[in-house]
Copies of this chain bind each other. A is one copy, B any other.
């Protein structure tokens, strides 16, 4: 089966695909606010059935999964295409140039909530499938499509669903098209993701706030309590000092290190874009090593006491800190949260530790089967050799495939680096969308060829 005519079909239908994407992203599907989830899951099943795939909405204990299958290529590999049809809340609305659910094309980009994360990317996969079927009447390999409705709220039921549907999800490889390409526009194949573990710390030192003059030095201060506790968790050199947190970390392989050494970096451009002068402490590690091979301890928010204009001489009785820890291969949310809990019990037993959600990390070997075919396909689809990432810095629920099903999983992002996902004015360039469809088609073709 030849890829050429399929790519030609994709090029010929470029504008029509854009129009259909715009129709799709017009529908809100905000998981955190439970808006439009049912409608969009049904809409997707309709689209998938329209392509002649067996498709259905499968309920979970949360928002439903959209599942589809094409298995007309016996003997060929099966690829599971994972994506998510839910989107982030669009707020703050006033910061959008055009309304988030009225998709608008400006300067070669479609602006709409979800157009990059993740609707435009899995819709590109759909159009790739459609194009193969239109040209050849069949696909080069077997396809399973799994589109989640809760990715933006941490995939709370994804693992449970995968455990309960092992047979349904049997595949040789999982590909997720999500996230951005490299800022230079070069494509990426990532063989892993960091995990994440979230928690809150709450201090309450008295029944009520008090006057800092009448009670200063008498009443303990909830903010100082958390400041000193946090100081025991990560020191001023940037070293995380929670006992046992680094236990079990799987170090990068020689292949991983070699891949990282080849990655380009334009640090001055990033510093200019984000307006920072110095990389975060500690300084004894490379840029990509920081993102791929080291856990973080990020304070997401710290709130206590007076925050209005001017001074207020108050002694605050309560304060809250929210944190997340990005996990690297070998760490688990359960173990890490247990270690944080033990640390808090030891250093500030009167502070309340509230564990939040978590997600395991995932990493597959860079020399896995299909690795070479993936590189070739991406090079054809995107017109540029992909960068090989041992891991992304962010978290996606790949572990459900790698750790629960034992299926290798990779990320092949289609979006532009400035897609502004999770932010106002989310966008996808028309070029990225088009190349995404071509890449999707090339991936199916190369994976199919690989097994002949």
Most buried by B among A285, A305, A306: A305
Q: From A278, which residue of chain B is reached at the shortest CB distance? A: B220
- Report B-chain residues with C-beta under 8 Å of the C-beta of A73: none
Indicate whether A46 reaches chain B with its CB closer than 8 angstroms: no
Q: Mark A131-170, 1 if CB is under 8 A from B, else 0.
A: 0000000000000000000000010000000000000000
- Report B-chain residues with C-beta under 8 Å of the C-beta of A306: 300-301, 322
Interchain residue pairs with CB less than 8 A apart (19): A206-B275, A210-B274, A211-B422, A213-B394, A214-B394, A215-B393, A216-B298, A218-B279, A218-B287, A223-B299, A231-B231, A299-B316, A300-B305, A300-B306, A300-B311, A300-B312, A301-B314, A302-B303, A303-B303
Cα–Cα, bound, A392→B214 (Å): 7
Q: Given A198-B313, A200-B311, A306-B322, list of 13 further CB < 8 A pairs?
A: A196-B313, A206-B276, A207-B275, A212-B296, A212-B324, A213-B393, A214-B392, A216-B291, A219-B280, A220-B278, A301-B307, A307-B322, A312-B322
Q: B216, B276, B285, B356: which contacts A296 (Cβ < 8 A)?
A: B216
Q: From A208, which residue of chain B is reached at the shortest CB distance? A: B274
Indicate whether A246 reaches chain B with its CB closer than 8 angstroms: no
- Report B-chain residues with C-beta under 8 Å of the C-beta of A277: 350
Q: Which residues of A contact B (CB under 8 A)?
A: 154, 194, 196, 198, 200, 205-208, 210-221, 223-224, 227-228, 230-232, 234-236, 273-281, 285, 287, 290-291, 294, 296, 298-307, 311-316, 319-320, 322, 324, 326, 350, 356-357, 392-395, 422
Q: B154, B227, B356: which contacts A230 (Cβ < 8 A)?
A: B227
- Report B-chain residues with C-beta under 8 Å of the C-beta of A314: 300-301
B301 lies within 8 A of A305 (CB): yes
- Report B-chain residues with C-beta under 8 Å of the C-beta of A298: 212, 216, 221, 313, 315
CB distance from A142 to the nearest CB of B (A): 32
